[in-house]
Structure 1
């Protein structure tokens, strides 16, 4: 079993909050992580709310929850019972002891709306991502495997690339045909699959709802936006907003979109092996999206991530702002990267605390003008230094 970085933070939050909500897409490892926590706490009750027998135990939630105040109660797939949140508030208020509830959710619109409910201050929220570069061996071979297969544990640990690819194709079909209906989402699976594949072809590009709607066969731009919202809510797509500093220049204001897991991106594009990936036009955008997710997972508390682009061509792939400090990141799929004039102009416009180029290299080395080329596994330390 892979030791997840989030384990220590999850235990810390459980020692402080009465409840913790652990969000993440299906099959990302939430249940495995929760059972590891349960093994450390003998007084733990685990309910899988996809099982009718477990849901039946919560037919009278006030009575059931009061009876188990001496336990850590783990509720898996909590979005299956969205009304349960209204019962959790008075129960937590009746006994605000830390570590009472661990709620696991495959994020959906219904679940995310509950975040605005009156559990504020009573629960903490964490996101479990697919496996990160910092969770696998720090060598280029392991990094290539993670990039190709993505970070869903069953795909990453498959005996070979063929089985890893088959698992990801099955995941996509299961998500569209089983998971979304279970969440109460009424969307035509074929239409959403086409839209998802279109986003894969547009990895790292600006989102244009009207253009995508036309490609869907004349659907409205509202439909394209709704589909995007759905994939963002289920934590399968990232909508990266632009950085809008007051620099007196015409700025691009549309968001960029990324398939968050590189393995799912490759499955949507029918890329099954490293030779296929390295010869595909998407390779640079795929690497960029992979790096974006590594940065997002290690952002310091309160930091913001965006991108920067002007109408005149100044561009920075990732901008991280943390208080008075900032980090400008350019992403290049080359062991000997070069950058355009737009990168240097973006550095001049934004004046970040530090600028780096992230590339598939084994160790960092100086580039010029104070900019360094760094490997992916240096990102956690660079981001931590901003805090």
Structure 2
């Protein structure tokens, strides 16, 4: 629907446009929302699955002009930037491994801190990954954000719009009547760490200097990698964050459909200590047997035990660990 002639044909005769006996793929469907009612009518008449593939650069149900959309008649698949495993050819099985192996999860890493910094500023957008020159990649990120047509001060007032065009993701607060009220405020993370790094003018070498935002960017990087994996993992789980009134925090809480929970903390340091597990211990105490494992992802090289069901694991486990049974 980026092409004017295709949009004109769709708007002139939406019913005829979607009336095909075979698969119809419509790209940038948000530019022609009037097609949705025609598709809805067609699907109601012929309920064979897989007749339409609708793609777009904004969320279908966030479209202000979408008439009635297609509730109960479609499945939505989020298409994220490349994961690190897709870039490297790695297994990307960390989510399934956490739920299946629990504290038996093991991983040894040879990835240095400098490589993590490089991955953060590169991100996973295909165009950025293809550009080895940091200056050319930076120009791409600038153009990507500038295409919003908004000034940076204005962006703060358009968070919902940013979510609908897949620039940021909201991670809701998590609670389960644990005797202490958890915050309901969502966290916002950039869908792509490369864009986030570019917006704060951080390059790979600069991230390794004292005072650089390596920690927050690594945290955003990990959260976005977990969100990617949840779109294909065998475990059907949802991603949350946790913070209670006692200021106990966990960066990522993943809960599956059986109510089993894993917790993930992110630390930019190459060493970890007992205090880094403070929030995870809180969750473990409250959840009992429903708590599978608590993992602190850090930039060191070895998996280390820190008590029952608590482990320190290298960040590279995200994309180098295979799902059990695969």
Q: TM-score range by the shorter chain?
A: 0.7 to 0.9
Equivalent position of 1:284 in the other structure: 215
Match of 1:184 in 2: none
The residue number in structure 2 matching 1:255 is 186
Query: Residue 347 in 1 paired to residue 284 in 2?
Result: yes
How far is the alpha carbon of 1:350 from its aligned partner?
A: 3.6
Residues in 2 aligned to 1:332 and 1:195: alpha-carbon distance in whole angstroms: 32
RMSD: 2.8
Match of 1:330 among 265, 281, 284: 265
After superposition, the Cα gap between the structure-2 partners of 1:173 and 1:114, relative to the gap in structure 1 and judged at 3 Å, is closer
The answer (yes or no) to whether the contact 1:109–1:230 under 8 Å persists in 2 is: no
Matched pairs, number: 292
How far apart, CA to CA, are the structure 1 residues paired with 2:267 and 2:42?
Answer: 51
TM-score using structure 2 length: 0.79
C-alpha separation between the residues in 2 aligned to 1:245 and 1:384? 28
User: What SS is found at the alignment partner of 1:57?
Assistant: helix
Q: Could you say which structure has the greater relative contact order, defined with CA pairs below 8 angstroms and 6 or more residues apart?
A: 2
Where does residue 93 of structure 2 map in the other structure? Answer: none
Matched, 1:169 2:106: no
Structure 2 gap segments, 5+ residues each: 91-109
Residues in 2 aligned to 1:145 and 1:333: alpha-carbon distance in whole angstroms:
14
Distance 1:276 1:122 in 2: 48
Unaligned runs of 5+ in 1: 1-48, 178-188, 199-223
- Structure 1 residues 251 and 69, CA, compared in 2 at 3 Å: closer, same or farther? same
Where 2:41 maps in the other structure, the secondary structure is helix
2:18 and 2:186 map into 1 onto residues whose CA distance is 43
Q: 1:311 to 1:286 in 2, by over 3 A?
A: same
Judged with a 3 Å threshold, the aligned counterparts in structure 2 of structure 1 residues 362 and 79 are, in CA distance, closer, same or farther, namely: farther
Inter-CA distance 294–363: structure 2 relative to 1 (3 Å threshold) = farther
Which deviates the most, 57-66 or 364-373?
A: 364-373
1:319 touches 1:329 (CA, 8 Å); kept in 2? yes
1:348 positional shift: 1.8
TM-score by length of 1: 0.67
Cα offset, 1:116, TM superposition: 9.1
Q: Please state how far the C-alpha of 1:95 moved relative to its aligned partner.
A: 3.1
The CA deviation at 1:288 is 0.7
